[in-house]
A and B are shown apart, each in its own frame.
Chain A
């Protein structure tokens, strides 16, 4: 596609439920990033993929969070046993290569609300 696509755009879920958020990066981009942004804050790094592998998952807050990118394109961020503190916008970005000198392109985000 022309840009980074994220689905769903909005998700309301009950505390304790399981949630999946999907990211479809720009075609051909090998690097993919997940960030989380709370209200009034800047985005915080969660995980970085280079191809199919998670090159850096140091930003995942705990073991309830997991992400995959099995074919090196689409990625899914999975959150188990959701908590109210997980409410935020989850942003996905992609970049042509893993070189940090490239511009990164963000999607519109998935707005998650845990009630």
Chain B
């Protein structure tokens, strides 16, 4: 069974700092990997989707990389802002399912 791990579980940084969130998965047979953002009491919002054949995707201040062979992905957030405070979840698709990590709770301090 696919297992997804996210490190760190929580992160607190001052505004303006660049930061990296990590995601690892045990089975490299995936279709894609997605990064989501979840605000308290809300659903999940898709940030970036990386297909298994791709190495990275960028959207604004966000850059996600994928190393399928080693089972790793990183989400890089540049010039963090207080509005970036949320929980960030990664999910990998295998078979019919998307397998989620437990998330990294990010706090950006003004």
Contact = CB atoms under 8 A, between A and B. Distances in A.
Interface string A27-38: 000000101000
B96 A56 contact: yes
Is the contact region of chain A dominated by helix, strand, or loop, or is it mixed? loop
B43 A108 contact: yes
| B contacts with A: majority SS | strand
Contacts, number: 61
A55 interface: yes
A93 B34 CA distance: 14
Given A43-B100, A59-B97, A101 B32 contact: yes
A103 interface: yes
A107 interface: yes
Interface string B93-110: 111111111110000000
Interface centre among B32, B94, B96, by most chain A C-beta atoms within 10 angstroms, is B96
Interface in A79-97: 91, 93
Contacts of A106: 36, 43-46
Contact of B102 (A41, A98, A107, A108): A41
B32 A42 contact: no
Interface of B: 4, 31-32, 34, 36, 41-46, 49, 51, 89, 91, 93-103
Closest 3 CB pairs of A and B: A42-B100, A100-B93, A56-B96
Interface of A: 4, 33, 35, 40-45, 48, 55-56, 59, 91, 93, 98-101, 103-109, 111
